[in-house]
Structure 1
Amino acid sequence: MRSRQRVLAGLVVATGLATAILLWGVVSTVFFAITVAYVLYPLRRRLVDRGFGRRTAAAASTSVAFLAVAVLIVPPLWSLYRRRRALLSYLRSLPDSVSVELFGTPVSVELGTVVAFLRRSLADLAVAAAGETPVLGLKLFLFALLVYAVLLRPSAAPAVVFRTVPEPYHDVVRQLHVRVRDTLYAIYVLQGATALGTFAIALVVFWALGYEAAFGLAVVAGILQFVPVIGPSVLVALVAATDLVAGDVTGAVTVAVLGFVFVGFLPDAVIRPQLAPHTADIPASLYFVGFTGGVLSVGLVGFIAGPLVVALFVETVDLLVADRSTAETRPG
């Protein structure tokens, strides 16, 4: 029997690797869908408790996920499309060099190389976006289908896991489940709520300061909230630097002060503390390492996979330390 189980386990590993290799183009979509379904399960369960059928609850939860992804993707793309000519005109109007006086000494800052790089990047991005539109639509359909399938039968995967893992290790599985749930909640719910608050505040601030692209700047500020440590402060710094280069010193100082206080600091100070107790306790440094390493290793989906892997590593270390402490204090 043990030999048969080893053979079956080997077959599972082999077929899993073959599946991952052949379906590598949609692995990130599958991973994204599973993590989103993980976060939406409490909503699905609440709808079922209120009398909705499991199909209706799964469909409603999937609609929430699809709309959230659409809200995240469509506004920045639409904003860039509407302002493409203005953005290109602005890049063409930038001088090749700017002279700035620093401590009484004129310093020349070369901008020609940077501007040329931004122009090429925008052109490449436009071509890539046009070519990837059908693929993106197919992946969105696959994402919605997978989220619905997981939420339709949410108990199927845990049942397989608990049947496969020996009973003495079930507590480890439960601990890892709690860590995954709290980490994904931190990434999606906490970061999402903070990003939404950042967008609203940034829209008011940039509109009040008279920026024509206030909506686009607010969208970018909200998206940058998902970038740990740096956040929307880098956008405020870029906007202030642009005003400074244009000779508007008063505007640069004003947007820097108001931006750093209301856009960069206020959402983190007000929204995040309200939701932080329900999330995984991961140091900001480890979260940043996971985010950066994940994005550089596997692309955009790395902003979820990186912190999640780091959280699981921290949890397994805690489990090992706790188990060794228990073993040392156990008599005999």
Structure 2
Amino acid sequence: MQPSRRTALAVLLAGLLVLAAFVLQSVLSTVVFAITVAYVLYPFREMVSEYGYSGRIAAGAATAAGFLGVVALALPLAYVLYRRRLDLLVFLEAIPERIVVDLGAFVYVLETAPVFQTAQSALRSLAISLAGAAPVIALKSVVFVILVYGLLLKPNAPRVAALRLCPSEYHDVLFALHRRTASTLRAIYVLQGATAVATFALALVTFAALGYDSPFALAVVAGVLQFVPVLGPSVVIVTLAVVDVVAGNAFRAMIVLVVGLILVGFVPDAVIRSRLAGGATDLPVSVYFVGFVGGLLTLGAVGFVVGPLVVALLAETVRLLSENGIATQQRLPGIGTDPDPTVDGTPSETDDESAP
């Protein structure tokens, strides 16, 4: 490809990317999340292909695995809420109009009527918002599934475009950024899963020690909520404290707030995640948390992935600069692995976009 034509196409691509980001800003976070998930699912797609299945079947199997993984996260929470729905109704009906909290020398009286009115208004507004957003959520889910499937079906398409637009002397930069992207994304999702498992274990021990009914179910909910940024398992702790206050057990409510928020809400993120983050993402713990927290505050839920990824790519670029941009010359891989090399970076006959 002639340099002038390559430059013109690169400029055109950059302009169209900016235009697409503006036009598709409502689904931009969905697109970004789908790309990160495709990176993580690519090894599974390749494993299916190695058994002799076609690219379409392999992409469909990987997409289904990702979808079932999301369902598996939401299913325990939905099951617990469904099984405990009658207990929740009985609890709400048993709440008196006035709750007296006796802490020895201090006695507090809590009027529940204003709290109930505020809660009812909030729940009503939430229900209306969810009902109105249901079609949008459904459409975004469809976009997510289709995009993940498309990326896994033709994983070489971005590679071919990048090779043709980027001069061969800069291919090593693309190789390095790609490798860092793939390793960081997989580490982030594995790290999140490990933190959720640790949250479940700590919650199970804490709730059993404090004498709560169904500690296993409560621990499952706490572990699943670890995937919800910011609030996470703290919702379970606060809810249990409220239940204890209503039941007149103010002492256990205070214990679960202090011990639960520390062991279940704080330790998994601040201690376990930080210990695993350095080795998993190949980033200093402080740098990882800057990306994690900054991504959450700036981009919302998808920021827990994008934030550390951006920081990791920045660190990789700094590394390349410190090494004078010298890296091992090799082929820019597809979404997940390194394909067969070529001499000059020009796609070969096997580089058709439909190649697995």
Provide the TM-score with structure 1 as the length reference: 0.75
1:34 aligns with 2:38: no
Deviation at 1:185, TM superposition (A): 1.4
1:169 partner amino acid: Y
Match of residue 330 from structure 1: none
Q: 1:117 to 1:81 in 2, by over 3 A?
A: farther
Contact map agreement 1:200 1:218 (CA 8 A) in 2: no
1:248-259 correspondence runs (5 A): 248-249=249-250, 251-252=252-253, 255=256, 259=260
Deviation at 1:6, TM superposition (A): 3.7
Cα deviations by residue, 1:186-209 (Å, 9 ceiling, x for unpaired):
222221243256447746864783
SS at match of 1:236: helix
- CA–CA distance in 2 between the matches of 1:88 and 1:317? 59
Q: 1:284 to 1:240 in 2, by over 3 A?
A: farther
Match of residue 56 from structure 1: 57
Deviation at 1:165, TM superposition (A): 2.0
Deviation at 1:89, TM superposition (A): 6.2
1:204-219 correspondence runs (5 A): 206=207, 209-211=211-213, 215=217, 218-219=220-221
Q: 1:53 to 1:311 in 2, by over 3 A?
A: same
Moved more, 32-41 or 284-293: 284-293
Greater share of helix: 1
1:223 aligns with 2:225: yes
- CA–CA distance in 2 between the matches of 1:51 and 1:274? 40
Q: 1:231 to 1:294 in 2, by over 3 A?
A: same
2:303 partner amino acid: G
- CA–CA distance in 2 between the matches of 1:113 and 1:283? 48
Match of residue 65 from structure 1: 66
Match of residue 283 from structure 2: 282
Match of residue 337 from structure 2: none
1:130 aligns with 2:127: no
Relative contact order: is structure 1 or structure 2 higher (C-alpha 8 Å, sep ≥ 6)? 2
Contact map agreement 1:44 1:58 (CA 8 A) in 2: yes
SS at match of 2:295: helix
- CA–CA distance in 1 between the matches of 2:21 and 2:121? 34
Cα deviations by residue, 1:312-332 (Å, 9 ceiling, x for unpaired):
222222333333999xxxxxx
1:166 aligns with 2:198: no
Deviation at 1:110, TM superposition (A): 9.1
1:153-302 correspondence runs (5 A): 153-196=154-197, 198-199=199-200, 202=203, 206=207, 209-211=211-213, 215=217, 218-224=220-226, 227=229, 232=233, 235-236=236-237, 239-240=240-241, 243=244, 246-249=247-250, 251-252=252-253, 255=256, 259=260, 263=264, 279-302=280-303
- CA–CA distance in 1 between the matches of 2:118 and 2:92? 14
Listed as ranges, the gaps of 5+ residues in structure 1 are: 327-332
Q: 1:294 to 1:121 in 2, by over 3 A?
A: farther
1:165 partner amino acid: C
Match of residue 44 from structure 2: 43
Q: 1:173 to 1:134 in 2, by over 3 A?
A: same
SS at match of 1:282: coil
Contact map agreement 2:33 2:302 (CA 8 A) in 1: yes
Match of residue 329 from structure 1: none
Listed as ranges, the gaps of 5+ residues in structure 2 are: 328-356
Cα deviations by residue, 1:65-96 (Å, 9 ceiling, x for unpaired):
11112233455456557767837964993878
Q: 1:108 to 1:289 in 2, by over 3 A?
A: farther
Q: 1:76 to 1:284 in 2, by over 3 A?
A: farther
- CA–CA distance in 2 between the matches of 1:84 and 1:130? 20
Moved more, 64-73 or 106-115: 106-115
Q: 1:115 to 1:7 in 2, by over 3 A?
A: farther
Moved more, 238-247 or 186-195: 238-247
Deviation at 1:177, TM superposition (A): 1.7
Moved more, 82-91 or 193-202: 82-91
**% of aligned pairs identical?**
44
Q: 1:159 to 1:98 in 2, by over 3 A?
A: farther
Cα deviations by residue, 1:256-309 (Å, 9 ceiling, x for unpaired):
698579756897899979976872123444333333332333332222222222
Deviation at 1:246, TM superposition (A): 4.4
1:71 partner amino acid: A
- CA–CA distance in 2 between the matches of 1:96 and 1:311? 53
Provide the TM-score with structure 2 as the length reference: 0.70
